[in-house]
Structure 1
Amino acid sequence: MSVLDDQNVEIHWSEYDVPHIKAKNYYALGVGYGYAHAQDRLAELCGQAIALRGERCKYYGAEGISTVGFLQTTNLNSDLMYRIRLPDEWGNNSFSALTQQAQDYVQGYVSGLNHYVASLTEQQKTERLAGEPLVTFSIADVIRFTMRFGIMKELVEMGPHLLASTLSVCADELKHSPHTKEVIQEGGFGSNAWAFGGDVAKGFGSILLGNPHSAWQRTPHQQRIYMHQYHLTIEGELDVAGSSFLGFPLPMTGYNSDVSWSILDAATVTPFVLQKMKLESDDTGYYYRVDGEKRALAIRTIDIPVLQNNGSVAQQQYSFLESEIGIVYKLPERPGKPEGWYAITNPNENNAAGLDQFLAAAKSASTEEFTHAIEQNRGILCQLVVADRHGYVGYVIAGRAPALTDDQMVSRHVRLPDAAFNVLDGSKSESFLRDANGNIQLADASFYPTIHSRGIIHNTNNSYKFTEYGKEQPDYASVFGQHKADYQLAKPIAAGLRYDPRLIMSYRRMSELVAAQAVKPEHVLQVIFDNRNYAAETFLDDILLKLSNVDLSESVSRGFQILAQWDQKNNAESTGALLFNQFWSQLIAQGLLVAPASGDPSKGSQLLLNQRNAGELVDAMQSAIDTLEQCNLALNASWGSVLHQQADGGLIPMHGGSYQEGLLNGEMPGELTDKGFAVILFGTVYIQRVHWQQEKLVADVLLSHGQRETIDSNSRSRQLAMFANKQLYRAPFLSDGFDNSGERLLLNLTAITSVETAQQGEML
């Protein structure tokens, strides 16, 4: 093997297909990861690029369905959204604003992606893409991969109403249009993270258990969150490993010698405000009023290439009205949103600082340095939990939030009945949240909740308020979570629920760990893998007692007998978990659960049980029985017989379960068929447990769905079996942990730069 120098980069794949990229500079490092990433996930990366360029209509037609992240809508809505909110000029500006190291890394990453594509024969391209379009990657694609995290959730508000907001489509055309259907949120977000500081994890520095949830598979029309694992090294400068998703090229959950962290969705953060505008029109044009002044609206045209029935591609134009703060959207009356025209102000727009953010975080040497790196480069809208070898743990919000205190929000509110707290009066310029130069106002670090501790940090996509175990945080602005009575909107938190049973379950497990013993790494893993069902162990005995004197049919009586004998867990061998899953979903739909408005997990939740709703319990059981019988499934079928993954020509029984039931080992099942659940939509896939033994890093990990797009992978089969057996493997990180076997590749940069770097000036 040649000596590593500035003109080459080495890739060494582990036995689990994890690439370790070693280089002398950031450009070379990017080349190595780009090449390895494309080798593993070429179809996924092409699909991401097409979606965020706003080109799904070009390849798949306007009325096809697109899932990006966990948000499902039509291709036309998706294309319009991303062309409006990820324009080319923003990409140029955001790339130029990055540090030189991040720019070099991104340029190298793009070169590596395209170099891998160039190395394929036409037959290999056909085999790898399986009919999906192949793209030439650009710097702009990677910037869009990054910027999308800040604006993605706007699709829920605007997606179904984009066509109604154009000057190009009349109302009659929308009456039966698929583009006006609500955006489907595929079940919610369910990541977990736990950090145990030196006061409870004595002798281990600290312990971090990262459990970011993701999809188990992708298709051309489902660009879901899908983890990829890797290790990046520039000797003396950077040494970081972990995983990321959606094309982002730096570890979002990861570790270095001193620090480990895990990412969670910022589910309770309100990332933008809406301004309700006052529009007028006459023969001379369209206008809006601000501070009593009449201002002209511009017309912005968005071109969308659309595949036609005859196979040709035609340009279709959609014209929108645009104010000084952006396009205005015509929204119908909805809960919290009065009918009218709205602008949107999102401080996360036009922001690719996530690349600087995670690069700086990767080089941090302590929890304090990590949180400071995040605060100085707020980019990816997410929450992060962190632990270091010195025994300190922490929590930080990584993205930007509207810079409004609650009093400021109230003073600028539209003051219409039932309007959500973040709907502002767009007839007042103070509601625009702009500085003298027209830029969105940003808050300083003190505005954000950041936590440092030597105790326990736990988060299940809940807010900052109860993230430090045993300690309620002081109130911050309601944009970080609505804990004050005046701002309670019963906002859904996860999986369609108005409370988070997983946080309550996590609080219960933390209480048990602290009471029992000093926390050790083996105890921590059981927080996920014990598969305890919060709903069952909290409410099932009361349900059975309530029905003990009720006359039941033979089938319903047998159903409750099965639940009475169940171990109240979702292990693969558990019988009763399937029946309870169907039964509990009925109770959720009936609204029989209540929880404290504050979200305090120590207060638990309550199931409304009385003589009047005993019939609802019986009906829920009968409905569950009917569903299983229609699928020809036994009422006492084991959980692993219906929740499974395919490998080596057979099925591997899985464990874990629904967020609705409070499973910390979340595995959200899809449609139930006669062969079991058709898919696992998303859940526990990547697990990262890190601690320090005599100040030396110890990392145990697992990526259950494997690195590569094919299921025909030995490392995937091995990791699925390990997941089924509740095991992780020791990840090599320090020099004495590496196995010299495994595939190695040395890429010469001279040949690559002559092909790809010549294109860099044309890519933006």
Structure 2
Amino acid sequence: MGRSLALSLVLAGVVATSPPATADGGTKIRRTSYGIPHVLASDYRSLGLGLGYAFAEDNACVMADIVVTLSAERSKWFGPENLDRDLYHQRLNESKVVEREIPAQSRQARDLVRGYAAGFNRYLSQTPNACGGAKWVRPITELDVWRRAHQIAGLTGSEGFHDAIAAAQPPGAPVAATQLVQRSEQRPGSNGVALGRSATAAGTGMVLGNPHFYWGDDYRFYQHHLTIPGELNVSGAGLFGVPLVNIGHNDRLGWTHTASEAQTMTLSKLTLVPGDPTSYVVDGQAHKMIAEQVTVGGTTRTLYRTPDGPLVEDAEALQWTDTTAYVLRDANRGNLRVIDQWLAIARARSVPDLNAALVRHHALPWVNTIAADATGTTYYSDVQVVPNVTDELRTRCATGPNIGFVILDGSRASCGWEGRLSASSLPKLVRNDHVSNMNDSPWLANPAAPLTGYPSIVGDVGTERSARTRMGLDMITSGTPFTLSSLEGAMFGNRNLTAEQGLAAVVAMCQANPTLPASDGRPVDVRAACATLSTWPGTGDTGKSSRGAYFWRTFIQFTGRAGATRWLVPFDPADPAHTPRGLNAADPGVQRAFADAVRAFEVAGRPVDLRLDDVQQYEGIPIHGCRGPEGCFNVISVPGAPQPVGPITHGSSFVMAVELTKNGPRMSSLLIYGQSADRSSPHHTDQAHLYAQKKWVTGAFTEREIARNPDLTVKVLRG
């Protein structure tokens, strides 16, 4: 490398030890331990080629399955129970919303997507029996990849309502309305922490990324490292099917995301024309709904919409009646800008750069951003796509039912909204100590500098924070400066806030009351459960000491029922990080919850001293962690009894701890379920075994670190 080229790479923010890509413009895929690919290319198309090929080596069948969904072919290949989902996607595809937006995306984004599809297809062409020769496996197109990006952008909007959209029918239609299930702890979540120079031992920036996401194949993370010398050098993880790093770091900046409390869509309550349930009234004028014939296989269904969006219906609060119907309006409809947004984040090298990238593109969907840079500056932002619903509009136009979504009066034209809230109206915070988010609103990103003044559709202010938020704030304000090692230890400490604040009192209560009344008034012998809790250390660790953890989970779940005054010290908005606290074991409702929990174990046929190992497993490997409502930071969402024990569906997934030093990044990570969803792959459970032992994978970022990896393999894709 010549002196001038080396200098230009330093000035461009790329580690000068990065070699040029192969001379013929080919692409290098270097894999280090645990199958992590480091893709080196000379341009975006070649970079996409390498990532698409590497991803296909690990997860070709999952991507093929995703494409079946996006192509509205699930019922064709996997049964009629998939019909509603196919109807949703077929209608979306016929709208051409994705095709219309592709030309507006940057050349780099289009090249990256083009290369990704080509790389995936190259692997398929070399592997004729991929997925056992299943007929539903086919080469993918660039459009498939763009559709996947659009699907992810709409995850908390239209995509999350796909069944309710496909099932929306006028009264008397022979299609049953779906049950709109709110996932609560099962929805996309996350913890994000950024530590600044006053909170770290080395006086630099650190980031802990801990997304709580679905463990199902469609929404796993894939870890990778992407390098175009002089242009891009980013490492981290991205969701399956998109050629991006969503959460990660470069040489000077680290960032993560958490699911935001901001609502990315609204509902409009329509007033229907008497005697005509497919017509609605706006400002006294009748309008006919737009009826669209959608055909999947041999089934044709008429689906309805207005200019604002599709009709949506569920079996409870959002029923389509003779007088009322509901329309969903998604602010992320047509949002393909997410590709360029995450590329701009990856190229940012400081907190000011990151803020500028978020404001310029203003395309993040449904996530907060938490970041730190090598100067020890931290940053919180909720700059994302949010409907332009001001508090004035909401006050004037909001209507019922109260189901946790913004519902506006669709009978008045003045109650509509256009565009998105401006970046200047969305909350941001820069600090030198710390910022964090654990899925509550932006208010307490840093309790020393509460954020206020943002529109209420973004989130609330002055309300009780979740037990997980309070645990996270306690972890990062302990007063001891963090090192990378201590940050790792905090992540897997598996503390349980409700146990810390109430276990001793509950044990004393049940020891004094060996029989307690259940909610139905019948006495329950609680001695066995009490004895189990008396020896439990109060954490989400697995092993012999975990007996009692699963019972505590069930008990805490039951204390949330009406009639229990759970806390000795209630919530105090003047001390929101430390209240409420002190489980009120003397409360009759709490005592009934204890007895009900014992009864639930009896009904489920499980012993009260069941180990956590027996209910939290991945491919037979015990998985430590606990649920957010217990006050656990490291979330593994397996519900308590009497729910049947099944596979882990949600929780900690890709975990990243990175320190941005003056000499480059130091990073530790774990992709708990491994790089591959294929059970025959050596990278399906290898990191789960590490996780069970609370061990981490040491990141390889520089060329020297990659070259020295003992498991290094290199593949070159030419042409």
Place the TM-score, normalised by the shorter chain, in its bin. Answer: 0.7 to 0.9
1:634-669 Cα distance to aligned partner (Å, 9 max, x none): x434433543333xxxx4333111222121111122
1:210-231 Cα distance to aligned partner (Å, 9 max, x none): 111234453xxxx3x2111111
User: What's 1:494 paired with?
Assistant: none
- The correspondence for 2:472, drawn from 499, 506, 530, is 506
User: What's 1:171 paired with?
Assistant: 172
What is the TM-score of this pair, normalised by structure 2? Answer: 0.87
1:668-721 Cα distance to aligned partner (Å, 9 max, x none): 2268799x9442222223211111334421111122221122334445554223
Partner amino acid for 1:293?
Q
Partner of 2:372: helix, strand, or coil? strand
User: What's 1:427 paired with?
Assistant: 411
1:505-528 Cα distance to aligned partner (Å, 9 max, x none): 11222232x2xx222222212222
Q: Percent of aligned pairs with the same residue?
A: 22
Partner of 1:7: helix, strand, or coil? coil
User: What's 1:369 paired with?
Assistant: 353
- The correspondence for 1:242, drawn from 226, 236, 239, is 236
Flag the 1:420–1:235 CA change in 2: closer, same or farther, 3 A. Answer: closer
The Cα of 1:292 is off from its aligned counterpart by: 3.1
8 Å contact kept, 1:160–1:180: yes
Aligned-residue CA RMSD (Å): 3.2
1:299 maps onto 2:291 in alignment: yes
CA distance in 2, matches of 1:448, 1:165: 33
User: What's 1:545 paired with?
Assistant: 508
CA distance in 1, matches of 2:684, 2:674: 4
User: What's 1:181 paired with?
Assistant: 179
The Cα of 1:609 is off from its aligned counterpart by: 4.5
Partner of 1:584: helix, strand, or coil? helix
- The correspondence for 1:444, drawn from 422, 447, 461, is 422
CA distance in 2, matches of 1:39, 1:88: 33
8 Å contact kept, 2:149–2:336: yes
The Cα of 1:353 is off from its aligned counterpart by: 0.7
User: What's 2:154 paired with?
Assistant: 151
8 Å contact kept, 1:297–1:323: yes
Flag the 1:417–1:680 CA change in 2: closer, same or farther, 3 A. Answer: closer
Flag the 1:698–1:708 CA change in 2: closer, same or farther, 3 A. Answer: same
Flag the 1:379–1:84 CA change in 2: closer, same or farther, 3 A. Answer: farther
User: What's 1:80 paired with?
Assistant: 87
User: What's 1:461 paired with?
Assistant: 439
User: What's 2:112 paired with?
Assistant: 105
8 Å contact kept, 1:689–1:701: yes
Alignment of 1:176-325 (within 5 A): 177=176, 180-183=178-181, 185=183, 187-218=186-217, 223=218, 225-266=219-260, 268-280=261-273, 287-305=279-297, 314=298, 316-325=299-308
CA distance in 2, matches of 1:656, 1:241: 26
Flag the 1:597–1:382 CA change in 2: closer, same or farther, 3 A. Answer: farther
- The correspondence for 1:719, drawn from 680, 687, 690, is 687
- The correspondence for 2:61, drawn from 37, 40, 43, is 43
Flag the 1:137–1:340 CA change in 2: closer, same or farther, 3 A. Answer: same
Flag the 1:126–1:189 CA change in 2: closer, same or farther, 3 A. Answer: closer
CA distance in 1, matches of 2:154, 2:450: 30
8 Å contact kept, 1:48–1:246: no
User: What's 2:531 paired with?
Assistant: 561
The Cα of 1:351 is off from its aligned counterpart by: 0.8
8 Å contact kept, 2:514–2:525: no
8 Å contact kept, 2:206–2:658: yes
8 Å contact kept, 2:628–2:635: yes
8 Å contact kept, 2:74–2:83: yes
8 Å contact kept, 2:540–2:624: yes
User: What's 1:490 paired with?
Assistant: none
CA distance in 2, matches of 1:656, 1:51: 32
The Cα of 1:474 is off from its aligned counterpart by: 1.5
Flag the 1:473–1:556 CA change in 2: closer, same or farther, 3 A. Answer: same
8 Å contact kept, 2:180–2:314: no
CA distance in 1, matches of 2:117, 2:672: 27
CA distance in 1, matches of 2:638, 2:146: 33
8 Å contact kept, 1:577–1:639: yes
The Cα of 1:49 is off from its aligned counterpart by: 1.7
1:267-324 Cα distance to aligned partner (Å, 9 max, x none): x1111122222333789x954333333444332222222xxxxxxxx2x222233333
CA distance in 1, matches of 2:355, 2:701: 23
8 Å contact kept, 1:270–1:479: yes
CA distance in 2, matches of 1:45, 1:484: 43
CA distance in 2, matches of 1:624, 1:615: 14
1:574-612 Cα distance to aligned partner (Å, 9 max, x none): 232233233333333566347749693332356454453
Partner amino acid for 2:507?
L
CA distance in 1, matches of 2:563, 2:23: 64
CA distance in 1, matches of 2:78, 2:535: 50
Partner amino acid for 1:653?
P
Flag the 1:453–1:60 CA change in 2: closer, same or farther, 3 A. Answer: same
1:490-519 Cα distance to aligned partner (Å, 9 max, x none): xxxxxxxx962110111222232x2xx222
The Cα of 1:18 is off from its aligned counterpart by: 0.9
The Cα of 1:358 is off from its aligned counterpart by: 0.3
Partner amino acid for 1:173?
P
The Cα of 1:138 is off from its aligned counterpart by: 1.5
8 Å contact kept, 1:27–1:106: yes
The Cα of 1:371 is off from its aligned counterpart by: 2.4
The Cα of 1:563 is off from its aligned counterpart by: 0.7
1:661 maps onto 2:624 in alignment: no
Q: Which structure 2 residue ranges, 5 or more long, are not aligned?
A: 1-18, 517-523
CA distance in 1, matches of 2:20, 2:225: 20
Flag the 1:617–1:320 CA change in 2: closer, same or farther, 3 A. Answer: closer
The Cα of 1:189 is off from its aligned counterpart by: 3.7
8 Å contact kept, 2:179–2:315: no
User: What's 1:683 paired with?
Assistant: 651
The Cα of 1:165 is off from its aligned counterpart by: 3.0
Alignment of 1:463-612 (within 5 A): 463-483=441-461, 500-512=466-478, 514=479, 517-552=480-515, 556-573=526-543, 574=545, 575-589=547-561, 592=564, 593=566, 596=571, 600-605=576-581, 607=583, 609-610=585-586, 612=588
Flag the 1:606–1:97 CA change in 2: closer, same or farther, 3 A. Answer: farther
1:645 maps onto 2:639 in alignment: no
User: What's 1:393 paired with?
Assistant: 378
1:337-383 Cα distance to aligned partner (Å, 9 max, x none): 99712222222111111100000110001012112212222133212
User: What's 1:759 paired with?
Assistant: none
The Cα of 1:46 is off from its aligned counterpart by: 1.4
Aligned length: 683
8 Å contact kept, 1:483–1:597: no
User: What's 1:33 paired with?
Assistant: 51
CA distance in 1, matches of 2:412, 2:513: 61
User: What's 2:6 paired with?
Assistant: none
CA distance in 2, matches of 1:590, 1:43: 46
Flag the 1:132–1:230 CA change in 2: closer, same or farther, 3 A. Answer: farther
CA distance in 1, matches of 2:440, 2:162: 25
1:349 maps onto 2:349 in alignment: no
User: What's 1:138 paired with?
Assistant: 141
CA distance in 2, matches of 1:688, 1:433: 38
8 Å contact kept, 1:272–1:347: yes
CA distance in 1, matches of 2:696, 2:108: 34
Partner of 2:114: helix, strand, or coil? helix
Partner amino acid for 2:141?
S
The Cα of 1:150 is off from its aligned counterpart by: 3.5
User: What's 1:125 paired with?
Assistant: 130
Partner of 1:699: helix, strand, or coil? strand
